[in-house]
């Protein structure tokens, strides 16, 4: 089977385009605060409203994080 130059160039161009689409830029940023939303309920499924930041422990990668409100 013979492949013409035009076909070969077309296949190479197509492969290049496919590779270019897979390469997405990576953005790295420093984050100081993360917002967490959650609800706490008791054993009767009633909301617990009297909690303070000191009632929680938040860990990131096994490291205790400071909780602020």
Rounded CA-CA distance 57/48 in Å is 17
List per-residue pLDDT tens for the chain, 69 residues long: 566 666 757 777 776 665 655 577 888 998 888 899 989 999 999 999 989 989 999 999 999 998 887
Q: How confident is the model at residue 48, as a pLDDT?
A: 95
Q: pTM score > 0.75 for this model?
A: no
**Structural contact between residues 59 and 65, judged by C-beta atoms closer than 8 angstroms:** yes
Q: Are 62 and 55 in contact (CB under 8 A)?
A: no
Mode of pairing for the β-strands spanning 58-60 and 63-65: antiparallel
Q: Are 41 and 47 in contact (CB under 8 A)?
A: yes
User: Closest by alpha carbon to 66, among 29, 33, 30?
Assistant: 33
């Amino acid at each position: 089977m013979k492949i013409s130059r035009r076909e070969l160039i077309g296949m190479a161009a197509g492969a290049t385009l496919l590779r270019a689409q897979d390469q997405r830029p990576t953005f790295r940023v420093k984050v100081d605060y993360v917002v967490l939303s959650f609800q706490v309920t008791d054993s009767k499924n009633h909301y617990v409203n009297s909690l303070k930041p000191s009632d929680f422990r938040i860990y990131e990668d096994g490291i205790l994080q400071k909780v602020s409100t």
